[in-house]
């Protein structure tokens, strides 16, 4: 049997990694400024993370959600406190797409409606309703296109208000900082307007924090930069530092009932241990502040490069926009400078999504390498 060939791959085979370094099968070291799509939040092979997972595996790795698992309650308490979202309840699943599926399902249950508002260049996953709210027709199959989704531009106050007044919508879903779409953000005024109009029309606000959550923006969640309180918050990626885990935070005003949501693997013992380790490291190493401080430093360094036309993002969820497509530049950074970076739907944007415990020295190395390839 062969693999189903859907991924265009770089000719690099990592075999080990520690901190920000990745080592391939030939012994070549690379600096990872992409973190596998913003997944590596606390660095590769962090000692506390490894110890947490090893210790849990020595006891029990998995059982389904038919028995008591105190780790889930421990995780919910820690997450609520660190994120300042203690008036939410936690449902655990396995990925960002699954998190958004459950968020959209809950909104539809709660309101009795089915239509959704999403935004231009949004990315919310590749499954069912999540991919229907993703602004990419190439990955939307006919079965996904049965979902009723309206796409608007950020800052389209009039269009949003008019749509919500029809009374047909269950949810507005948005990223505080768009990931795959290219790091565009709503203004605080627009995000607050969304919340206000959703409340008026009994529509739920879903904050997709799959990529911008867990400290990456410099705050625990990206929406916290805008003074809003969403009804449902979806999480994944940096949450598990590579272990497959996701979840949704559901405001306590939305009531649960047995069987409403469910999952076989979600919230298993290993997933909880991985997420607890990430939260403990975020707190102990003060990584949200580090993300904020280094985001400011990155900005100052980027301004020194004339070919950079625009700097986008917050914290350590950043992008550099050029007046040319960056695919070739990314290849040069990998093969010549041994540096991983990211692309996006905006072909002229180079994305920078490192672990949150990098240093100024790492950023200096990145910009030295970038300058060398831009000559």
List pLDDT tens digits, range 232-262: 999 999 999 999 999 999 999 999 999 999 9
Together in a domain, 188 and 292: no
Q: Is residue 263 part of a domain?
A: yes
Distance CA 190, CA 196 (A): 10
CATH code of the domain covering residue 333: 3.90.1150.10
**Pairing between β-strand 246-251 and β-strand 88-93 as defined by DSSP bridges:** antiparallel
Distance CA 242, CA 17 (A): 12
Q: What are 58's two structure tokens?
A: 């020595």
Which pairs from 55-64 meet CB under 8 Å and 24+ separation? 55/273, 56/269, 56/270, 56/272, 56/273, 57/270, 59/269, 60/269, 61/268, 61/269, 61/270, 62/265, 62/268, 62/269, 62/270, 63/268, 63/269, 64/264, 64/268
Together in a domain, 139 and 164: yes
Q: What are 316's two structure tokens?
A: 């350590």
Please report how the helices 327-335 and 360-374 are oriented relative to each other, as an axis angle in degrees rounded to 10. 120
Distance CA 240, CA 39 (A): 7
Together in a domain, 240 and 337: no
Phi, psi of 342 (to 5 degrees): -125, 160
pLDDT in tens, 336-354: 999 999 999 999 999 999 9
Distance CA 148, CA 140 (A): 13
Together in a domain, 236 and 360: no
Together in a domain, 139 and 245: yes
The CA-atom distances, in angstroms, between 198 and each of 25, 167, 214 are 52, 10, 25
Q: Is residue 164 part of a domain?
A: yes
116 is in which domain, residue-wise? 48-284
CATH code of the domain covering residue 215: 3.40.640.10
Q: Is residue 14 part of a domain?
A: no
Number of independent structural domains in the chain: 2
Q: Is residue 81 part of a domain?
A: yes
Distance CA 240, CA 246 (A): 8
**What does the pLDDT profile of the chain (375 residues) look like in tens digits?**
999 999 999 999 999 999 999 999 999 999 999 999 999 999 999 999 999 999 999 999 999 999 999 999 999 999 999 999 999 999 999 999 999 999 999 999 999 999 999 999 999 999 999 999 999 999 999 999 999 999 999 999 999 999 999 999 999 999 999 999 999 999 999 999 999 999 999 999 999 999 999 999 999 999 999 999 999 999 999 999 999 999 999 999 999 999 999 999 999 999 999 999 999 999 999 999 999 999 999 999 999 999 999 999 999 999 999 999 999 999 999 999 999 999 999 999 999 999 999 999 999 999 999 999 998
Q: Are 339 and 31 in contact, with CB atoms under 8 Å apart?
A: yes
C-alpha neighbours within 13 Å on the C-beta side of residue 287? 27
SS3 315: coil
Together in a domain, 300 and 367: yes
Phi, psi of 249 (to 5 degrees): -100, 120
Distance CA 346, CA 349 (A): 6
Q: What is the C-alpha radius of gyration for the chain, rounded to an integer number of angstroms?
A: 20
Domain boundary among 262, 284, 306: 284
Q: Are 175 and 237 in contact, with CB atoms under 8 Å apart?
A: no
Together in a domain, 256 and 358: no
Domain boundary among 233, 262, 284: 284
- Residues in contact with 300: Cβ distance below 8 Å, sequence separation at least 6, in sequence order: none
Together in a domain, 352 and 241: no
Phi, psi of 292 (to 5 degrees): -65, -50
Look at residue 375 in the predicted model and tell me its pLDDT: 87
Together in a domain, 143 and 195: yes
- Pick from 299, 302, 292, 123: which is nearest to 222 by CA? 292
Distance CA 361, CA 369 (A): 12
C-alpha neighbours within 13 Å on the C-beta side of residue 308? 20
Together in a domain, 35 and 98: no
Q: What residues are paired with 93 via a beta bridge?
A: 246
- Token look-up 């100024």 returns 360
Q: Is residue 329 part of a domain?
A: yes
Q: Is residue 15 part of a domain?
A: no
Together in a domain, 168 and 289: no
Look at residue 14 in the predicted model and tell me its pLDDT: 98
pLDDT in tens, 92-126: 999 999 999 999 999 999 999 999 999 999 999 99
Q: What are 181's two structure tokens?
A: 């779409």
Q: Is residue 2 part of a domain?
A: no
Q: Is residue 130 part of a domain?
A: yes
What pTM was computed for the model? 0.97
Together in a domain, 127 and 152: yes
């Amino acid at each position: 049997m062969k693999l189903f060939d859907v991924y265009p791959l770089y000719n690099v085979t990592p075999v080990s990694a520690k901190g920000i370094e990745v080592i391939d099968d030939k012994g070549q070291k690379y600096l990872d400024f992409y973190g596998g799509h913003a997944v590596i939040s606390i660095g590769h092979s962090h000692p506390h993370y490894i110890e947490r997972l090893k210790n849990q595996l020595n006891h029990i790795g998995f059982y389904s959600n038919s028995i008591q698992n105190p780790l889930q309650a421990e995780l919910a308490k820690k997450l609520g406190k660190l994120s300042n979202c203690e008036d939410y309840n936690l449902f655990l699943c396995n990925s960002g797409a699954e998190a958004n599926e459950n968020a959209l399902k809950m909104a539809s249950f709660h309101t009795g409606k089915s239509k959704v508002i999403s935004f231009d260049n949004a990315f919310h996953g590749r499954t069912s309703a999540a991919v229907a709210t993703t602004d990419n027709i190439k990955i939307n199959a006919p079965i996904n296109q049965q979902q009723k989704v309206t796409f608007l531009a950020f800052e389209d106050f009039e269009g949003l208000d008019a749509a919500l007044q029809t009374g047909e919508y269950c949810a507005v879903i948005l990223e505080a900082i768009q990931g795959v779409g290219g790091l565009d953000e709503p203004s605080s005024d627009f995000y607050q307007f969304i919340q206000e109009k959703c409340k008026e029309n009994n529509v739920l606000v879903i904050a997709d924090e799959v990529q911008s959550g867990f400290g990456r923006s410099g705050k625990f969640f990206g929406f916290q930069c805008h003074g809003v309180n969403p009804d449902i918050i979806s999480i994944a990626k940096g949450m598990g530092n590579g272990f497959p885990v996701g979840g949704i935070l559901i405001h306590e005003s939305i009531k649960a009932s047995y069987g409403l949501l469910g999952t076989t693997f979600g919230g298993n013992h290993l997933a909880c241990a991985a997420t607890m380790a990430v939260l403990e490291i975020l707190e102990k190493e003060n990584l949200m502040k580090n993300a904020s401080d280094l985001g400011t430093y990155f900005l100052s360094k980027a301004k020194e490069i004339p070919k950079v036309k625009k700097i986008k993002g917050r914290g350590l969820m950043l992008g550099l926009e050029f007046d040319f497509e960056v695919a070739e530049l990314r290849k040069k950074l990998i093969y010549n400078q041994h540096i991983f970076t990211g692309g996006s739907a905006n072909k002229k944007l180079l994305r920078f999504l490192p672990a949150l415990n990098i240093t100024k020295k790492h950023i200096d190395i990145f910009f030295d390498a970038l300058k060398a390839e831009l000559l």
